[in-house]
Structure 1
Amino acid sequence: MTVLVATPLGAVGRYVTEALRDRSDVRFLVRSAASAGALDGSVRGEVFRGDAANAADVRRAVVGVDRLFLAHPFAEGQIAAETALGVAAVEAGARRIVKLGARRFGGDLVPDAVTGNHDVIADRLRAAGVEELTVLQPDRFLQNFLPSAPALARGTLADPAGPGARGYVDVRDIAEVAVAELLADRPTGGEIEISGPAALTLAELAASFATALGTPVRYVDVPLDDAWRAGLAERGVAPRIVDGLHDLYANYRREGVAGLGDGVQRVLGRAPRTAGDFAAELLRPTASGTA
């Protein structure tokens, strides 16, 4: 068995990599020399440098691969890159793909590009004839708040998702489900919704962070206006990506209270980590380091 991990230093991939670092039957696909250098010496398996957008690199990357962890950041070329890698793996003999997707919105909301891209890719993988396909569908990542640790330590949680409630999920849980599906003799398979144990408003999430940080944290709603767009543009975010993020956050605001997923319990046999667990174990050390 050979497992190929795409985006091994991504938001979820880095935890998948950590779990598989001591296995010799894992190949880690990286694009840049910097990423290759970050993994060299820290993993037992093969570090393969190649570009998922390059057909020749993809064909070489999937040789002998039996199982694939497929992930890619939201970007203009996401659908093409994930589809090409997944289809090439199937054509090379891979029988199992664990794809990182996103939780669908309830009701009659029109899918945004951030979440809708995943459905397009999954449909193409099914059409390619993959034998065993698992699509992970997590809610919002708690780890996305780590870059805001300095602001949180100063007492502010600013976010544009609005007043609804979501099952904010610790990325470590997503990775553990992914690894379990990759390595299982008989994976759960299908679509697996993953969330935290409770639907929290951003005000409740701020309170959870405040408890861990030992300081008051106030939630501040960020309007999805021109100032918000300009802030992303100043950080170099491409207009089409800004549009996709705008539609994603608009759907968060429209949906209100999101349903919870049972994927962690179903696959791992335990309850998911809480926002408090995340805050105490990861956010507090990060905030302390920036103080």
Structure 2
Amino acid sequence: MSIVVTGASGHLGRLVVDQLLATGTPPTQIVATGRRTDKLADLAQRDVTVRRADFADPATLDDALVGTDAMLLVSTSTVGERFDNARTAIDAAVRAGVSKIVYTSMVNASTARMTLADAHRRTEEYLRNSGAAFVILRNGWYLENYTDQLPVIAQYHALMGSARDGRVSAVSRRDLAAAAAAVLTQDGHLGATYELGGTALTLAELAATFSDVLGSPIAYQDMSVADFTGTLTAAGLPAEMAASVADADAGLARGELFTASDDLAKLIGRPAITAHEAVREAVTAAKSR
């Protein structure tokens, strides 16, 4: 079976390709795609098929999907274009006769009110109505959204947000990649929608985790959505992205990034990576640079 991974030059897509290779999928049965194939050159050297796929150019998707059986559709990062990009990819997969489309949605997509959920909800509906066989992976909020902030958190001794005491079932990209690889290569998942999250915690508890690993006090600084948006913008985040991140924290406060589902552990066959483990790994990596 030939598997195509969209966005293979991005964080999650690349981890999925790595996981497929690590679990025994022959490289010649993997098609890694991206807008810039030069970023995938090392995969080509490992006998992975590399093809250009640009959601703005449907013809490239038609070419990328030739001879493939399953597609992992990794949702794109540009919020305003996410649904249109997904619809284009789904249409191309249907034209190509792809037998299984796996889509990376977000946790609680059908009920969440945050801005990010809208495109995922619309994509899920479009996929279900497409006539294609599908699996929906509702991915939880990345632990990396927090561990990537390590330098700033360590400098200012604070984790900032507007999540109040909401609980987030944060999960590592590595675990989500393992789940994606499992449903791409195993039978028995068609038509399923999986809620994928790790052990839930509040941002105050996450700040305490940073404190424990760093050995210095880290406080959670809660602020209004407007103030958090302004803080993110002042830190250099583009206005649209800053508003989206702050809006997601408002959703977190409402419980929209929490799931009690054990789908992830069942799919990957082990407990999810904890926040403590993720922070420790991030600190170790920072020290080695």
Match of 2:94 among 87, 90, 93: 90
Q: Does 1:175 align with 2:174?
A: no
Conserved? CA contact 2:138–2:195, under 8 Å: yes
Aligned position for 1:50: 53
Distance in 2 of aligned mates of 1:173 and 1:277: 13
After superposition, give the CA deviation of every residue in 1:27-85 in whole Å (9 maximum; x if it has no partner).
111112552346443x4311112311211111111111110111122422111111111
C-alpha deviation, 1:216, in angstroms: 2.5
Structure 2, unmatched stretches of 5+, are none
Change (3 A) 1:29 1:105: closer
Distance in 1 of aligned mates of 2:159 and 2:169: 17
C-alpha deviation, 1:18, in angstroms: 1.5
C-alpha deviation, 1:259, in angstroms: 3.3
Aligned position for 2:202: 201
Distance in 2 of aligned mates of 1:259 and 1:227: 24
- Give the TM-score normalised by the residue count of structure 2: 0.87
Deviates further, 154-163 or 3-12: 154-163
Change (3 A) 1:258 1:19: closer
Deviates further, 260-269 or 117-126: 260-269
Match of 2:119 among 109, 117, 120: 117
C-alpha deviation, 1:152, in angstroms: 2.8
Identity %: 27
Distance in 2 of aligned mates of 1:220 and 1:38: 42
C-alpha deviation, 1:7, in angstroms: 0.9
Conserved? CA contact 1:9–1:35, under 8 Å: yes
Aligned position for 1:147: 148
Q: Which amino acid letter does the alignment assign opposite residue 284 of structure 2? A: P
- Give the TM-score normalised by the residue count of structure 1: 0.86
Distance in 2 of aligned mates of 1:222 and 1:98: 37
Q: Which amino acid letter does the alignment assign opposite residue 98 of structure 2? A: A
Aligned position for 1:64: 67
Q: Which amino acid letter does the alignment assign opposite residue 140 of structure 2? A: D
Conserved? CA contact 1:142–1:169, under 8 Å: yes
Aligned position for 1:285: 284
After superposition, give the CA deviation of every residue in 1:192-216 in whole Å (9 maximum; x if it has no partner).
111113x211111112222223332
Q: Which amino acid letter does the alignment assign opposite residue 206 of structure 2? A: L
Change (3 A) 1:288 1:152: farther
Q: Which amino acid letter does the alignment assign opposite residue 26 of structure 1? A: I
Conserved? CA contact 1:74–1:114, under 8 Å: no
Structure 1, unmatched stretches of 5+, are none
Aligned position for 1:212: 213
Conserved? CA contact 2:141–2:257, under 8 Å: no
Distance in 1 of aligned mates of 2:247 and 2:152: 25
Q: Which amino acid letter does the alignment assign opposite residue 284 of structure 1? A: V
Conserved? CA contact 1:208–1:279, under 8 Å: yes
Q: Which amino acid letter does the alignment assign opposite residue 288 of structure 1? A: K
Mapping of 1:1-291 within 5 angstroms? 1-21=1-21, 23-32=27-36, 34-37=38-41, 39-41=43-45, 43-71=46-74, 72-104=76-108, 111-131=113-133, 133-154=134-155, 155-187=157-189, 189-197=191-199, 199-225=200-226, 228-229=229-230, 231-232=232-233, 235=236, 237=238, 239=240, 241-255=241-255, 258-280=258-280, 282-289=281-288
Quote the RMSD (CA, aligned, Å).
2.5
